[in-house]
Amino acid sequence: MKHTITLIPGDGIGPEVSDAVVTVLAAAGLDIEWEPHDAGATAFARTGDALPPSLLESVRRNRVALKGPIATPIAGGFASVNVGLRKALGLYANLRPVINLPGVPSRFEHVDLVIVRENTEDLYAGLEHEIVPGVVESLKIITSHASARIAKFAFAYARTNHRTRVTAVHKANIMKRSDGLFLSCTREAASEYPDVTYDEVIVDAACMHLVMHPERFDVLVLPNLYGDIVSDLCAGLVGGLGVVGSANLGDDIALFEAVHGTAPDIAGRNLANPTALLLSALLMLEHIGETSHAERIRQALVRVLTEREIRTGDLGGTATTREYADAICRELSRGVRS
């Protein structure tokens, strides 16, 4: 089946890892027409707009997008394109499966958890102002609408994917009203899913438990900011940001992206590891019903990683982005012959 998908290569290493992923998906025999669109620093330099309306129109039309990393200027400059995309497209759930990848060295084995992060509010609402010089207020927005929506999403995901437990992560002992509201919504959702075990953990304790016994967790549901921090921590449990994919999901639009940034220190040098964006692309293939293609690419990726001959510098190898992608393509063609 033919698919039309918006491609946002992004900044820094984005075009290199996107190119590698497009090559692998083509080698797997997928019939995809890509609609490429610039965003972020590249688009801003060219058009003065970091999030061009034509990009949003393309994603709304195709309902599926694959996105590389986008640079966000610190303390000034244009607003975060990542946050803008999530808001403009109603992508309220950020899903990040964290699982050991064979052949990738990590401190833990048997990690198999899923982060479900609320994507639209909390301190990410970006509502900040200076009350008087030297005093800045930043508003943490938590609504029952968004909290109930993400809680239901987490439980429905758990049920559909045969997962047994959802853990709500919070700081309601201190933020009694805001995180308290979040918790009352997760409890309410839990009561509608009696087949899924529900528990709660305070965010600081959650971090400690995660770095001691990550295998004890299953699905975690978190407000936006804790979700942002804890999901990077969890990536570190299985080998880092280069080997974890993610999806941003709304009711009828899905945008898949690597969780790492633009890696300015290695950009343009053909050194980046495209695995994270490839894993995001596999989530995308499952989303559009190309499950068998996704599985075949996953197996080819795992074969390359376990043979350990061809891997990028972040995983201790010397291969270029292109050589690594070509190795996965070769494994795919071997898979076809066998």
Number of residues located near ligand NAI, criterion CB under 6 A: 21
- The length of the chain is 338
Q: Is the dihedral of CA 131, 132, 135, 136 positive or negative?
A: positive
CB nearer to ligand NAI: give 168 or 304.
Answer: 304
Q: What are phi and psi of 261, to 5 degrees?
A: -95, -160
Q: Is 219 in the site for ligand NAI (CB under 6 A)?
A: no
Dist CA 127 CA 136 (whole Å): 10
Task: Give the one residue of 87, 260, 293, 303 binding ligand NAI; rule: CB under 6 A.
Answer: 260
Token pair belonging to 294 = 């996704």
Burial 179-217 (b: 16+ CB within 10 A, else e): bebbbebbeebbeebeebebebbebeebbeebeeebeeb
Dist CA 285 CA 26 (whole Å): 13
Place of tokens 């994919």: 245
Nearest distance, CB of residue 43 and ligand NAI, angstroms: 13
Site string for ligand NAI, 272-311 (x = CB under 6 A): xx--x-----------------------------------
Place of tokens 């244009």: 78
Token pair belonging to 92 = 């309220």
Q: Is 89 in the site for ligand NAI (CB under 6 A)?
A: no
Q: Is 261 in the site for ligand NAI (CB under 6 A)?
A: yes
Q: Is 115 in the site for ligand NAI (CB under 6 A)?
A: no
Stretch that binds ligand NAI, among 130-138, 164-172, 211-219, 269-277 (CB under 6 A): 269-277
Nearest distance, CB of residue 181 and ligand NAI, angstroms: 27
CB nearer to ligand NAI: give 70 or 325.
Answer: 70
Cβ atoms of residues 35 and 62 within 8 Å? yes
DSSP β-bridge partners for residue 127: none
Q: Is 70 in the site for ligand NAI (CB under 6 A)?
A: yes
CB nearer to ligand NAI: give 142 or 255.
Answer: 255
- Radius of gyration of the chain, Cα coordinates, nearest whole angstrom: 20
The closest of 224, 155, 142 to 189, measured between CA atoms, is: 155
Q: Is 120 in the site for ligand NAI (CB under 6 A)?
A: no
Nearest distance, CB of residue 182 and ligand NAI, angstroms: 23
Nearest distance, CB of residue 257 and ligand NAI, angstroms: 5
In the chain, the amino acid numbered 89 is L
- CA angle, 298 then 300 then 305, to 5°: 95
Q: Is 16 in the site for ligand NAI (CB under 6 A)?
A: no
Range list of β-strands (E), 100-237: 112-118, 128-132, 135-138, 165-170, 197-202, 219-222
Task: Give the one residue of 6, 42, 58, 82 binding ligand NAI; rule: CB under 6 A.
Answer: 82
Nearest distance, CB of residue 127 and ligand NAI, angstroms: 20
CB nearer to ligand NAI: give 272 or 294.
Answer: 272
CB nearer to ligand NAI: give 41 or 166.
Answer: 41
Q: Is 314 in the site for ligand NAI (CB under 6 A)?
A: yes
Dist CA 241 CA 258 (whole Å): 8
Token pair belonging to 304 = 């390359």
Nearest distance, CB of residue 183 and ligand NAI, angstroms: 28
Q: Of residues 128-187, which lie at the interface with ligand NAI (CB under 6 A)?
A: none
- Residues near ligand NAI, by CB under 6 A: 13, 17, 69-72, 82, 241-242, 257, 260-266, 272-273, 276, 314
